[in-house]
């Protein structure tokens, strides 16, 4: 085929023939039209089938045309390009749907009343009620988990970067990696086994401990990356002045990387704020406001969403509350993320490279 | 590198310093230093202790339950911990966990790799940053929100696909459908795929970005098309990275609880068809059965959690080993 094209033309150009820039769009429009015609003609009512037929025609037409004009290798390239774009668009659909549904259905009942009242006197099937108790519970549990996990995580990272040599640090590095992959429900079961041994009832702090286990490896990982970015010259300059190593770390290394460390901790907080499984096992859920995380069952936002869904018995009021709570939770997580990234950009250490 | 270590290995003969001088020179005798080293090393050891404690305590409680199990823990097709004698087994859970994760991987890995390639090689340059940013944010969406979306939005929308699969592929046995609600393993697998897409994409993108520019330019200079550059320079360099990214995603999918618990309508049978509701996974079973479980029932659930813990440990450990090995040889390529 390409031989023919070359033979007809004077072989003066270095480039082979190319399809015009607009050809993918034209082929797409053409194949869509043909697919609709086939779908209507054959009486296929599923739009998915129309789409599949259109896709197939598009691939065949692209390959055929490109192979004829540009050669087989270019044709393969075009097919690959089309597939990559399709994969991207395919992935965008559910993600857009998720965000859109949460916002559209969440704003229905999300107002000041919803944020400042508990479910104390409201049945799950009735409208009304709110998430105040869940917000209190989430803030306390996540706050306590952060108080436990952040110092331990940062210190471990300091050990790995500043002191770590030999077997112990290699073991810690490996197990921190492995710990990142521990399913949240397993962390919950671990604390649950302790509670069974000591015969304890569910309470908020038990959830905090499980969340802390999930949070520590994330903090270690991100802090480690940040400490490695601190230029060695800074450490050497400080040590050369006779400053002890621990003061060097506290006064030079940590302040230099504090922005990145804060970012890492906030991202870790955002991650554990959405954890449901350990909270379900350890904090149990509560319709009333319980301000004390050390005694009695509490509520938390993700758990509230799950219970509203599970106990709804199909009542729309409960689904509305679940969506509104989801929107609150997503907003909280996203704001944490955005602020964290803002801090990272604002306080990025100057590596001098 | 080699020469410098050789030099430090054989220092010139010098007058031997006394032990005290040595300690002073290292600067490790200051009390502040010792306390700080102790604290940071203690934190590292504390993490190891936690991992060990998880294994020990789960095993202890699990052994309490398994010793009283009248069924076979590995092969029994039921989960009755409230009757006497109790009888429970993980066969259905293991099957469901593996099947849903496999479906998720089959869907998510090619799409995630394609998106990673899209972000590094195909997308218009101005769009790359924002899209990558959005994918980062999507990785932060809590799993319970995915679960709610899956149960209320995805499940009703699966009917069309299920009907189509049933019409054309029911002869395979995997895709026969009794027109029930679409709360089945396939829906769970699709939802898990959507959930693990961001993490696989992110890690793969990082790997593809590290492909040496020279390799790509060399391929282009030889007249390769963009696809040939990807196939000859990008994929071979990124293969192990993609594998480990996939295994990280697999670890997530295996342990996912809430999204499965909200979408699946479970039972304790192994179904040949992926479209009919039923089956269960480790994590989903723990969340669903926990409310009605007494102390013994909780021990039984802990036993199933221990199995899940071991599986995810193996998967994640393998993923990390692959990444670690890659680090060693990529240094030469850079």
Q: What does the DSSP assignment read for B62-98?
A: HHHHHHT-SS-TTT---EE-SSSS-EE-SHHHHHHHH
Query: Tokens at residue A45, please?
Result: 């009512």
Contacts of A244 in chain B (CB under 8 A): 27, 30, 32-33
DSSP annotation of A252 reads: I
Instruction: In whole angstroms, give the CA distance from residue A91 to residue A103.
Output: 19
> B67, B90, B110 — which closes off a domain?
B67
Task: Tell me whether residues B308 and A186 touch, CB distance under 8 A.
Answer: yes
Total structural domains within chain B: 2
pLDDT at res. B3: 44
Q: Chain B: residue nearest A310 by CA?
A: B262
Instruction: In whole angstroms, give the CA distance from residue B48 to residue B315.
Output: 19
Q: Chain A: residue nearest B318 by CA?
A: A178
The share of chain B scoring above pLDDT 70, in percent, equals: 88
Contacts of B49 in chain A (CB under 8 A): none
Task: Tell me whether residues B255 and A196 touch, CB distance under 8 A.
Answer: no
Q: Are residues B60 and B83 in the same domain?
A: no
Q: Are residues B49 and B91 in the same domain?
A: no
Rounded to a whole number of angstroms, the distance from the CA of B181 to the nearest CA of chain A is: 14
B184-215 pLDDT, tens digit each: 999 999 999 999 999 899 889 988 988 888 98
Q: Are residues B134 and B269 in the same domain?
A: yes
Rounded to a whole number of angstroms, the distance from the CA of B116 to the nearest CA of chain A is: 9
Rounded to a whole number of angstroms, the distance from the CA of B272 to the nearest CA of chain A is: 25
The pLDDT-based confidence of A193 (bands split at 50, 70, 90) is very high
Q: Are residues B263 and B183 in the same domain?
A: yes
Q: Is residue B31 part of a domain?
A: yes
Instruction: In whole angstroms, give the CA distance from residue A323 to residue A1.
Output: 59
Instruction: Report the mean per-residue pLDDT for chain B.
Output: 85
Q: When comparing pLDDT for B209 and A146, which is higher? A: A146
Model confidence at B100: pLDDT above 50? yes
Q: What is the pTM of this model?
A: 0.88
A5-33 pLDDT, tens digit each: 444 555 556 667 777 888 888 888 888 88
CA quadruple B15, B28, A172, B243: dihedral positive or negative? negative
Q: Are residues B91 and B46 in the same domain?
A: no
DSSP annotation of A161 reads: I
Q: Are residues B130 and B216 in the same domain?
A: yes
Q: Are residues B106 and B251 in the same domain?
A: yes
Which domains does chain A possess? 2-105 (no CATH), 115-346 (1.10.3720.10)
Interface of B with A in 134-163 (CB under 8 A): 136-138, 140-149, 151-154, 160-161, 163
Rounded to a whole number of angstroms, the distance from the CA of B201 to the nearest CA of chain A is: 11
Q: Is residue B5 part of a domain?
A: no
B288-321 pLDDT, tens digit each: 999 888 889 999 999 999 999 999 999 888 887 8
Instruction: In whole angstroms, give the CA distance from residue B76 to residue A209.
Output: 34
The share of chain B scoring above pLDDT 90, in percent, equals: 44
B80-94 pLDDT, tens digit each: 888 888 888 899 999
Task: Tell me whether residues B115 and A323 touch, CB distance under 8 A.
Answer: no
B270 inside 8 A of chain A by CB? no
Q: By residue range, what is the domain housing residue B132?
A: 79-333
Instruction: In whole angstroms, give the CA distance from residue B98 to residue A223.
Output: 34
B117 inside 8 A of chain A by CB? yes
Q: Chain A: residue nearest B25 by CA?
A: A242
DSSP annotation of B272 reads: S
Q: Are residues B98 and B207 in the same domain?
A: yes
Task: Tell me whether residues A181 and B312 touch, CB distance under 8 A.
Answer: yes
Task: Tell me whether residues A246 and B32 touch, CB distance under 8 A.
Answer: yes
Q: Are residues B152 and B103 in the same domain?
A: yes
Contacts of A241 in chain B (CB under 8 A): none
Q: Are residues B190 and B276 in the same domain?
A: yes
pLDDT at res. B14: 55
Model confidence at B332: pLDDT above 50? no
Rounded to a whole number of angstroms, the distance from the CA of B41 to the nearest CA of chain A is: 6
B55 inside 8 A of chain A by CB? no
Q: Are residues B124 and B35 in the same domain?
A: no
B315 inside 8 A of chain A by CB? yes
B168 inside 8 A of chain A by CB? no
Q: Is residue B1 part of a domain?
A: no
B298 inside 8 A of chain A by CB? yes
Task: Tell me whether residues A277 and B258 touch, CB distance under 8 A.
Answer: yes
Instruction: In whole angstroms, give the CA distance from residue A283 to residue A201.
Output: 9
Residue A187 · residue A271 · CB < 8 Å:
no
CA quadruple B140, B145, B151, B156: dihedral positive or negative? negative
Contacts of B112 in chain A (CB under 8 A): 91
The pLDDT-based confidence of A311 (bands split at 50, 70, 90) is confident
Q: Chain B: residue nearest A329 by CA?
A: B142
Q: In the A/B pair of chains, how many CB contacts fall below 8 A?
A: 266
Instruction: In whole angstroms, give the CA distance from residue A338 to residue A349.
Output: 19
B208 inside 8 A of chain A by CB? no
Pick the closest to residue A269 from A155, A143, A185, A140 (CA basis).
A143
Q: Is A298 helix (H, G, I), strand (E, B) or coil?
A: strand
Task: Tell me whether residues B194 and A174 touch, CB distance under 8 A.
Answer: no
Task: Tell me whether residues B305 and A185 touch, CB distance under 8 A.
Answer: yes
Q: Chain B: residue nearest A335 by CA?
A: B137
Q: Are residues B204 and B308 in the same domain?
A: yes
């Amino acid at each position: 085929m390409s031989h023919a094209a070359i033979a007809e033309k004077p072989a003066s150009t270095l480039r082979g023939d190319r399809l015009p820039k607009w050809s993918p769009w034209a082929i797409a429009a053409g194949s869509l039209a043909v697919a609709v015609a086939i779908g209507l003609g054959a009486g296929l009512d599923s739009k998915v089938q129309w789409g599949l037929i259109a896709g197939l025609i598009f691939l065949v037409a692209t390959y055929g045309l490109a192979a004829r004009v540009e050669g087989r290798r270019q044709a393969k390239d075009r097919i690959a390009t089309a597939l990559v774009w399709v994969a991207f668009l395919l992935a965008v659909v559910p993600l857009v749907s998720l965000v859109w549904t949460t916002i559209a259905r969440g704003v229905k009942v999300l107002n000041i009343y919803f944020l400042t009242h508990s479910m104390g006197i409201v049945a799950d099937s009735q409208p009304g009620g709110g998430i105040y108790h869940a917000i209190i519970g989430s803030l306390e549990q996540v706050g306590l988990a952060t108080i436990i996990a952040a110092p331990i995580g940062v210190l471990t990272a300091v050990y790995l970067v500043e002191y770590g040599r030999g077997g112990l640090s290699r073991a810690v590095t490996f197990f921190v990696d492995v710990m990142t992959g521990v399913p949240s429900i397993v962390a919950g079961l671990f604390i649950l086994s302790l509670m069974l041994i000591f015969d304890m009832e569910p309470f908020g702090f038990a959830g905090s401990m499980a969340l802390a286990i999930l949070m520590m490896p994330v903090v270690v990982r991100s802090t480690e990356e940040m400490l490695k970015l601190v230029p060695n010259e800074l450490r050497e300059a400080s040590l050369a002045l006779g400053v002890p190593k621990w003061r060097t770390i506290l006064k030079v290394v940590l302040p230099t990387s504090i922005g990145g460390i804060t970012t890492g901790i906030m991202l870790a907080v955002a991650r554990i704020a959405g954890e449901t499984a350990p909270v379900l096992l350890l904090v149990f859920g509560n319709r009333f406001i319980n301000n004390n995380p050390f005694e009695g069952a509490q509520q938390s936002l993700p758990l509230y969403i799950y219970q509203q869904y599970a106990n709804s018995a199909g009542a729309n009021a409960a689904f509305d509350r679940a969506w509104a709570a989801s929107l609150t939770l997503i907003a909280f997580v996203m704001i944490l993320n955005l602020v964290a990234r803002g801090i990272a950009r604002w306080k990025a250490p100057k590596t001098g490279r | 590198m080699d020469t410098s270590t050789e030099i430090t290995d054989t220092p010139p003969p010098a007058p031997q310093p006394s032990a005290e001088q040595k300690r002073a020179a290292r600067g490790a005798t200051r009390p502040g230093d010792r306390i700080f080293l102790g604290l940071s090393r203690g934190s590292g050891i504390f993490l190891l202790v936690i991992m060990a404690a998880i294994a020990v305590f789960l095993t202890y409680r699990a052994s309490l339950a398994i010793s009283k199990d009248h069924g076979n823990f590995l092969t029994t097709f039921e989960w009755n911990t409230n009757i006497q004698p109790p009888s429970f087994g993980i066969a259905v859970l293991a099957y469901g966990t593996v099947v849903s994760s496999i479906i998720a991987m089959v869907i998510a890995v090619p799409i995630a790799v394609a998106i990673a390639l899209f972000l590094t090689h195909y997308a218009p340059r101005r769009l790359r940053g924002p899209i990558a940013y959005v994918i980062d944010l999507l990785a932060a969406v809590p799993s319970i929100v995915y679960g709610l979306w899956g149960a209320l939005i995805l499940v009703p929308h699966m009917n069309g696909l299920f009907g189509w699969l049933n019409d054309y592929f029911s002869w395979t046995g995997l895709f026969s459908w009794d027109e029930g609600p679409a709360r089945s393993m396939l829906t769970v697998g699709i939802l898990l795929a959507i959930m693990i897409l961001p993490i696989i994409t992110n890690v793969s993108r990082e790997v593809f970005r590290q492909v040496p520019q020279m390799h790509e330019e060399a391929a282009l200079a030889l007249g390769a098309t963009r696809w040939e550059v990807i196939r000859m320079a990008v994929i071979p360099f990124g293969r192990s990275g993609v594998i480990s990214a996939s295994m990280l995603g697999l670890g997530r999918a295996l342990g996912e609880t809430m999204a499965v618990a909200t979408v699946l309508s479970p039972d304790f049978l192994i179904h040949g068809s992926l479209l009919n509701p039923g089956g269960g996974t480790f994590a989903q079973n723990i969340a669903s059965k926990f409310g009605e479980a007494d102390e013994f029932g909780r021990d039984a659930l802990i036993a199933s959690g221990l199995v899940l813990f071991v599986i995810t440990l193996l998967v994640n450990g393998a993923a990390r080993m692959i990444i670690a090995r890659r680090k060693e040889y990529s240094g030469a390529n850079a």
